[in-house]
Amino acid sequence: MKALLIRDLRLAMRAGGGFGLGLVFFLIVVILVPFGVGPESTLLSAIAPGILWIGALLACLLSLDRVFALDWEDGSLDLLATSPLPMEAVVSVKALAHWLTTGLPLVLAAPVLGVLMNLPQEGYKPLILSLILGTPALSVIGTFGAALTVGLKRGGLLLSLLVLPLYVPTLIFGAEVARRGAVGLDMTTPLLMLAGITCGTIALLPFASAAVLKVNLR
């Protein structure tokens, strides 16, 4: 599993789906928002948690079509399906590699970009906490969507349409954690809901993704 993880990390970097692409997109979203809504600091502070979460969510979408596509094209996916390693473990490693190359850099960059959005000082820790808890769910859900569309030509748009509705609960509770933390409100309930969503996706979706892949490989 360690060798597969290292291989996926290298492939993600070579294919352009690593740190740079997601971070640049995240930065563009944060820079464009003040031009659209105006430079009012009060308004930017109010919408900062939601905008940062939306930017992170959309940035995660950029590299989802590459999760299985490269392995499908060179035949590696067939070899992985017949290897002693369970398909559920393969899917989990793919999701982890996606999070390490996309989700984790977004978590680290969010506080810096929060400065551009005039995020209140009290909101930085809740924002980081919500992204740490929520972005793994985005990667696991995205991996499930990638498994559904593997092998389809121009399946990127279909992948986005399938995954975005599944992202909505994570977005709602993640942004709510960041918003409540920024204004000093209790964030226990949305935090627990966000953690529950992430734990549920990690526990269940790898099995669903593995089943879908087995069907697509027949």
For the chain, domain boundaries: 2-217
* Whole-number pLDDT of residue 16: 53
State the pTM of this model.
0.89
R_g (Cα) of the chain, nearest Å: 18
pLDDT at 133: 95
Taking each helix axis as running N to C, give the angle between helix 188-217 and helix 156-183, from 0 to 180 degrees, rounded to the nearest 10.
Answer: 170
| 10-residue mean pLDDT series, the chain (218 residues) | 74 62 85 82 87 91 79 74 82 90 89 88 92 94 89 75 93 94 91 96 93 81
The per-residue pLDDT for 191 is 95
What distance lies between CA 157 and its chain's CA centroid? Answer: 16
